[in-house]
Amino acid sequence: MKMPRVLQALFYMLRFSREEICERDTNKLDFKKAKQLISEDLFEKMAKYNPLGQSEEEYKEYQKLGFLKKTIESVEEEKVDEYSIILGRIHRWIT
């Protein structure tokens, strides 16, 4: 899959763990694992996501805003849109 960083950032932002979406002992997206998580539950988490205000929850380092920004900063929005309109919309939602 092209541009896996977009999906990876989405999953991390919604607090999925690295073990749930990546190859073992790496930070490389495992699309076979990730595609099993694309379900109604994912869309519900997206709908309930609230970026405003302080959160009392503990975040892992890769779920923090700085890491997420670095993850998708090299991904150009126009190229994502050319590849997939849906992935482009996800990219805009994340940013």
H or E segment to which residue 18 belongs? helix 18-21
Residue 82 within any structural domain of the chain: yes
Task: Supply the pLDDT for residue 52.
Answer: 84
d(Cα 62, Cα 50) in Å, to the nearest integer? 18
Residue 28 within any structural domain of the chain: yes
Residue 37 within any structural domain of the chain: yes
- Total domains present in the chain: 1
Tell me which residues of the chain have a pLDDT lower than 70. none
Full residue range of the structural domain in which residue 66 is found: 4-46+58-94
Residue 17 within any structural domain of the chain: yes
Q: How many CA atoms lie within 13 A of 2 on its CB side?
A: 11
Residue 51 within any structural domain of the chain: no
Residue 53 within any structural domain of the chain: no
| Burial class of residue 78 in the structure, from the number of CB atoms within 10 Å of its CB (0-12 exposed, 13-18 middle, 19+ buried) | exposed
| Burial class of residue 53 in the structure, from the number of CB atoms within 10 Å of its CB (0-12 exposed, 13-18 middle, 19+ buried) | exposed
Residue 66 within any structural domain of the chain: yes
Task: Supply the pLDDT for residue 76.
Answer: 92
